[in-house]
Amino acid sequence: MNRPYEGEKMKPILLLLTLTLNIWANQSFYDLYAQNRATHKPNLITADFVASAYGTYKLTRQKAIEEQVLRPRVINFANFLYQGVVEMKIKDKEQLLAYTAMLSLLAKNGESLEIPDGYEHLQTIIAQEANLIMTANTTALSPILKIKIDYRAFRVPNSYKKSQAYFRTMKYAQTMPLNKKLAQNIQTTIKASERLGNLKRHIDQLLEQFVGIEKKSTALISSYKGLDYYIFANSPKPSVNDIAKAIYPKKASKLSNLVKKHILNLYSSNDYDFKIMQTLIKHGHINAFKGYYTQSKDRNALYVQTFKTKSAPQQPKRTHANIEIQLEETLSVMIEDALVFSQSIKNNQIDKNMISTLKELRKIAQKKSMKLPLTALDIKFLNSLDLIFLELSGVKEKPISVKVTNKLTQELLPPKPVGFGDGSWGGRYVHREF
């Protein structure tokens, strides 16, 4: 028998590699675990999968809070603020009236807005400002504030296509810097109305609790700068490795006071993200940390669609499953973070279910770390965990590309399968930065 040429040997290998890459191209963690179910392979619960599932859960709950609580308050605040300015007897209030009229017009999504008698001439600059915001394609002098503004910030991302009025209203309140006189007049108007004062306080509290806010701001509503902003501030070539070194340095004494303050006190959900990442780094789950960081950065702009899952046919019983070691501390922080969500929204059954799921997973992780045998119920739970997480969040994770700084872009590609020697299979984040 003639032996094949070396090139002939490579053809089927290259073909197999191409097919494998094509299969990976659009798959999620849930697709990987569904393949386990279909081929009767035991699940390997990786730190990456747990981090990804929890990151997706946080996305859906944050969106729910935004839609049910924050958005209506911001819209009401914008409209009531304009009404308050109209009624207030303030000298030289043309700029104040134009600014708040623009805010209310955005909240009304372009509906007609009445301008008080004697101020009809303001309609021209309000219309010019509105055109710059709606086209969102240039940097120009604001007709109202008379300062240069990058209006490209008003481009509505896919995640806000159904709530464009809220996005533009919030962006206007966060983007447009106020001069001293304008800021003072707005504060005077807010203080004169109990309703306005309560709305503004509730908005600030929600942003601080779930996103965090930058206290020193000249805008009407402050925007947040996370720990990574300060970590990257002096980095000529920022990298996710800078985050790792800052939140879990080799020597605890090198932990900066700012990082220590936020991770110890956990002022906001964003701080919990960094605490979760710290525990992942601490226990050697570096890839999971990188993936979770990218998810956390993308959360506010990420667009997801819900879908219904079909009942799967009965599959042969899997008698084995596995979980990566040293996940207990990460799970404990996730549980504490989920409790915040459960206390901040009326329909919190999802949060309660997530908390009980994480507690059960932590109990199994503790057994694994202590080298105790898993029960049949533990194994059944691990082999069903992908379905449990998917039901809780309602969405699969998807590839992400997020610009963290002007010099750093983070990407999450579809996860890759990973197997242990015991025959269990799971998934890993595929993370890159440039």
The reported pLDDT for the residue numbered 80 is 95
**Mean predicted confidence (pLDDT) in 313-331:** 80
Provide, for the chain, the percentages of residues in helix, strand and coil under a 3-state DSSP scheme, each rounded to the nearest 5: 60, 10, 35
Instruction: Name, of 127-141, 147-161, 200-214, 392-406, the range with top average pLDDT.
Output: 127-141
- pLDDT grade for 79, boundaries at 50, 70 and 90: very high
pLDDT given at position 346:
67
Beta bridge partners of 428: 416
Burial class (CB in 10 A: 0-12, 13-18, 19+), 29: buried
Residue 87's nearest CA partner among 201, 176, 197, 190 is 190
**Tokens 């009531």 sit on residue:** 80
pTM of the model: 0.69
pLDDT at 426: 84
Task: Answer yes or no: are the C-beta atoms of 195 and 80 closer than 8 Å.
Answer: yes
Residue 215: its pLDDT value, please?
Answer: 60
pLDDT at 260 over 50: yes
pLDDT (tens digit per residue) in 153-211: 898 887 788 889 999 998 899 888 899 999 999 999 999 999 999 999 998 888 877 77
Ranked by mean pLDDT, which of 1-15, 119-133, 250-264 comes out on top?
119-133
Residue 354 has pLDDT above 80, yes or no: yes
Task: Give CA separation, 132 vs 191, 245, 417, 428, in Å.
Answer: 31, 42, 47, 43
Burial class (CB in 10 A: 0-12, 13-18, 19+), 325: middle
Q: Report pLDDT digits (tens) over 261-306.
A: 888 888 888 889 989 999 999 999 999 998 888 888 777 542 222 2
Predicted confidence (pLDDT) per residue in 26-44, tens digit = 688 888 989 999 999 999 9
- 66: which DSSP letter? I
The rounded mean pLDDT for the chain is 82
Say if residue 104's pLDDT is above 90. Answer: yes
Confidence tier at 392 by pLDDT (50, 70, 90): confident
Residue 96 has pLDDT above 80, yes or no: yes
Whether 53 and 415 have beta carbons less than 8 Å apart is answered as: no
pLDDT band at 20 (very low <50, low <70, confident <90, very high): very low
Tell me the mean pLDDT in the region 82-92: 89
| Alpha helices per DSSP H over 214-372 | 227-232, 240-247, 257-265, 269-282, 286-298, 328-342, 349-369
Pairwise CA distance, residues 19 & 61, whole Å? 37
Question: What pLDDT score does 394 carry?
Answer: 79
Per-residue burial over 356-388, b = 16 or more CB atoms within 10 Å of its CB, e = otherwise: ebbebbbebbeebeeeeebeeebbebbbebbeb
pLDDT at 423: 83
pLDDT higher than 90, residue 123: yes
For position 216, what pLDDT does the model report? 62
Q: Which residues contact 205 (CB under 8 A, 6 or more apart)?
A: none
What percent of the chain lies above the pLDDT cut of 90?
A: 28
Predicted pLDDT at 383: 87
Query: Is residue 314 predicted with pLDDT exceeding 60?
Result: no
Local confidence band at 347 (pLDDT 50, 70, 90 cut-offs): low
Question: Region 45-71: what's the mean pLDDT?
Answer: 89
C-alpha 105/C-alpha 149 separation (Å) is 19
For residue 18, name the pLDDT band (cuts at 50, 70, 90): very low
